[in-house]
Amino acid sequence: MGYLSPPPMPAPVVVYKDVGGLVSDYEALTERYRRENREVRLHECRSACTLALSLPNVCVYPDAKVKFHQAYNAINREVDLGVSSQLFASYPTAVQARLGHLTREYRVLTGTELIALGMRNCEGGPTMIASRKQRAPSTSVASARPDGQSGASLASFGDIAQKVQSAVATALASTSGRTDPIHVAVADRQQLTGLARGGEEANALPEPAPLPPRRPPSEAFAGFQDTASLSPAYLRLISGAQPILGPQLVRTVASN
């Protein structure tokens, strides 16, 4: 992201790598940022981008690199002393003293050096870290019921469980030598199923599924063992085969 491509307000302008350009373009954006009091954060900034140092709400990262040099004409590549003087005059006094003057070659000041000269550190502000609030443990859990009413609380279930556990422990840890039997009530599964389905009618066992029809007895084919006399020939049984259709049906087909 460059100096000339800002995000929508009120987001800060984060300059990752800007290689500079026409000083007039950078002057226009600099004045806009000044009116909006827009924060500008510098990572790498070169040439005309160094106008950002004139803003009241500018900061640099410690690993930033800001590169200064004289302005020159883009057509004939000759140094423009007037524009170069304007650039130099826009820098803070401490930065001017450190640079002394601008040259045709780049002069680089790191973010650490600029912070030492009084520039604001982008990492020096408070860091906002999102944290999830811890929920207080719930003391009761409503159990869903078909009638829409809430069930018993978790605490009541816990009390019942403790009482049952205490009673079983007392019965098992008898010190008098008693061996009283422990009676365990087992619910009738069919009865519970019937009640859950809505009454005695639902408790009735389902009727068994009908069985498939039985195979006709072999006597049905008793009179149809000899097929050698049948005509046409395709109605005759192959040796060792068993007839499937009854003799009446076969005769009917043969007669047709």
Distances (CA, A) of 112 to 32, 48, 89: 27, 21, 22
> Which has more pLDDT, 105 or 217?
105
State pTM to two decimals: 0.49
Amino acid at 131: S
Domains and CATH numbers, the chain: 13-121 (3.90.226.10), 225-255 (no CATH)
Dig out the tokens for 88 from the structure.
Answer: 């130099």
Distance CA 34, CA 115 (A): 21
Which residues make Cβ contacts (< 8 Å) with residue 155, sequence separation at least 6? 139, 140
With a cut of 80, say whether residue 96 has pLDDT above it. Answer: yes
What pLDDT sits at residue 210? 77
- The C-alpha angle with vertex 160 and arms to 155 and 164, in degrees rounded to 5, equals 145
Contact indicator for 250, 223 with CB cutoff of 8 Å: no
151: left (phi over 0), alpha (psi -120 to 50) or beta: beta
With a cut of 60, say whether residue 86 has pLDDT above it. Answer: yes
What average pLDDT score do residues 71-75 get?
A: 87
> Which has more pLDDT, 220 or 54?
54
> Which has more pLDDT, 24 or 152?
24
List, for residues 111-123, the tens digit of each pLDDT value: 999 999 999 999 9
Amino acid at 234: Y
> Which has more pLDDT, 62 or 172?
62
What pLDDT sits at residue 143? 43
